[in-house]
Amino acid sequence: FDVLENADCEVVYQLVFANNRNISHAAGEFLHKKLLTEDLEEVLKEHRAQRHTRKIREPHIILKELLRFFLENEVSEHGAYMVDSLWETVEVLRDWKSMTELLLSDELGE
CB 15 within 8 A of CB 27: yes
Q: Give per-residue pLDDT as tens, 7-62.
A: 888 899 999 998 899 999 999 999 988 877 776 777 777 766 766 545 567 788 88
Express each pLDDT in 68-109 by its tens digit.
888 888 776 778 888 999 999 988 889 998 888 888 877 655
First to last CA, the chain: 30
What pLDDT is attached to residue 102? 80
pTM for the model stands at: 0.74
Residue-level pLDDT at 27: 93
